[in-house]
Structure 1
Amino acid sequence: MITQLNDSKISPVSDFTTNEISNISEIYKDEINISIWKRQLSSSLEKSSEYVVNQNPNLEFSEVLQPKDVNQSIKSVIGSSNEIQPFLDDVSYLSFTFCKLFDQKKMWLRLDGIDHPMCPRFHTDKLKCRLVTTYVGPATQWIPHHLVNRSKLGYGNEGKPDNESGLFLSENDIEQLDTGHVALLKGESWKGNDGAGIVHRSPYEEGNYQRLYMTIDFIETYINIYRN
């Protein structure tokens, strides 16, 4: 049976969508575990992003840095062609947005070009909050909190695929971001959010696909992964 979280200390958990970037700060509300800016990529940004992934299909960029250093750091990896400027401008903008929203001087920025699911199973993350956006290809999938049987996450699936384990009742329960959407995913380490981190996975598509996506994390997430 799919049940709601029974911990009375946690408010009912839901999602929030907006057409304005300024409203993405709703993630601070206790009852919100995913906040989505439903934007559409401009034609120039779309073309720039496609150029980047076509030239760098196996891109792996991972740096802890200040927003002001984003442009130069990425150029050192993928070059400084004029075609990449709209892409660089957008990555910089979202980097500044993340750091301003959470009052951070630095963040952990990652850009990846892949042709397969990075995290194919539904899961939660042990972190405060993560910004994700997909520039090319299919975007992140997630399940609303009230439709998840969390006992079936991880080892609870008993080796069964997610669609057979009882994690969710129907494929129709699965939500998916659109290419270009910007989402803040609240994790298990957000204060008071233990047991309510957003359940999500890399997009599932038949066969291989080309994808360019970005994640921005708090520095502590980087430290917890690489220095512990």
Structure 2
Amino acid sequence: MSLQTPTLEKVLPQTDSFSGYFTDDPLKISEIYRKNINISIWQRELDSKLIQAGEYILQENPELQLSEVVDPGNINEIMIKEFGSSKELLTFSNDISKIVNMFCNLFELKKVWLRLDAIDQPMCPRFHADNVKCRLVTTYIGPATQWLSHHKVNRAKLGHGNEGKTDAESGLFSKNSDIQQLCPGHIALLKGESWDGNQGAGIVHRSPHEEGHYKRLYMTIDFVELYLRIYQNTLKGF
């Protein structure tokens, strides 16, 4: 998470009040707090060691589904337990630890819900907005998350509004070039419908659609309240 990289900030020009924010400075990802920003993207590039570690994990555990409530104090222990302590995999574990710390610091959280998954098909194939405050997403290997700018979405076509048609056919968006896509390594904060004052403006996104078969290793970090909402009867000693 070097802070020495020259920065380049850009706010997507849009025709209404909600925009996307791009930056090369990890500190600037906090622009998600701005009322008119519903996606904030740190455009980082993965170094070769992280890519190699990610490829190794995909090869050794192609069905990986890691789901843990973690805090900055135990994340390294959990990662080492899951992936081992080889030098290469420690690089990967340390990267996740830094991202967890960043998310916790940004939102003043003690714990977060971390998920790291290996998949070979879209997990969420339809465009949608999440009923969460904010979610961090990043992809290590494979194609990354796709999203639509707020002013290019017909929200009436989300969910049942698609009337059984595909996203491309329903009128949700006008043309394929409206679809934007993160790159592997990018760290994005996706503002959801539960963010105070953001109802009807949660960022619309989906898992990547790619021709043919692909392998993907990606991570999401959520507020613990989402975990509690889903698994409140199984979480003990929290």
Q: Shared fold (TM-score greater than 0.5)?
A: yes
Aligned mates of 1:157, 1:90 — CA distance in 2: 39
Aligned with 2:44 (options 15, 39, 55): 39
Q: How many Å apart are 1:17 and its aligned residue?
A: 0.2
Aligned with 1:140 (options 145, 152, 155): 145
Aligned with 1:166 (options 150, 162, 171): 171
> Counterpart in 1 of 2:126?
121
Which range moves more in the overlay, 59-68 or 187-196?
Answer: 59-68
> Counterpart in 2 of 1:8?
none
> Counterpart in 1 of 2:186?
181
Does 2:106 correspond to 1:87? no
Does 2:183 correspond to 1:151? no
SS at 1:130's partner residue? strand
- Superposed CA deviations along residues 141-170 of structure 1, whole A, max 9, x for unmatched, are 000000000000000000000000000000
The aligned length equals 220
Counterpart AA for 1:174: I
SS at 2:74's partner residue? helix
Do 2:80 and 2:90's aligned partners in 1 also have CA atoms closer than 8 Å?
A: no
- Superposed CA deviations along residues 82-104 of structure 1, whole A, max 9, x for unmatched, are 32111101100000000000000
- Superposed CA deviations along residues 11-63 of structure 1, whole A, max 9, x for unmatched, are 71110000000000000000000000001101111111111221111110001
Aligned mates of 2:41, 2:208 — CA distance in 1: 16
Aligned with 1:195 (options 161, 176, 200): 200
Do 1:131 and 1:216's aligned partners in 2 also have CA atoms closer than 8 Å?
A: yes
Counterpart AA for 2:54: S
> Counterpart in 2 of 1:99?
104
Aligned mates of 2:194, 2:44 — CA distance in 1: 27
Aligned mates of 1:152, 1:41 — CA distance in 2: 36
Which blocks of at least 5 consecutive residues in structure 1 are unaligned? 6-10
Task: Report the RMSD for the aligned CA atoms in angstroms.
Answer: 1.5
Aligned mates of 1:205, 1:221 — CA distance in 2: 29
Q: How many Å apart are 1:71 and its aligned residue?
A: 1.9
Do 1:128 and 1:190's aligned partners in 2 also have CA atoms closer than 8 Å?
A: yes
> Counterpart in 2 of 1:20?
25
Do 2:139 and 2:185's aligned partners in 1 also have CA atoms closer than 8 Å?
A: yes
Q: How many Å apart are 1:72 and its aligned residue?
A: 1.5
Q: How many Å apart are 1:227 and its aligned residue?
A: 2.3
Aligned with 2:220 (options 215, 218, 221): 215
Do 1:149 and 1:167's aligned partners in 2 also have CA atoms closer than 8 Å?
A: yes
SS at 1:67's partner residue? coil
Structure with the bigger RCO (C-alpha within 8 Å, sep 6+) is 1
Q: How many Å apart are 1:77 and its aligned residue?
A: 2.5
Aligned mates of 1:98, 1:105 — CA distance in 2: 10
- Superposed CA deviations along residues 112-147 of structure 1, whole A, max 9, x for unmatched, are 011110000000000000000000000000000000
SS at 2:121's partner residue? coil
Which blocks of at least 5 consecutive residues in structure 2 are unaligned? 1-13, 234-238
Q: How many Å apart are 1:80 and its aligned residue?
A: 2.9
Counterpart AA for 2:65: E
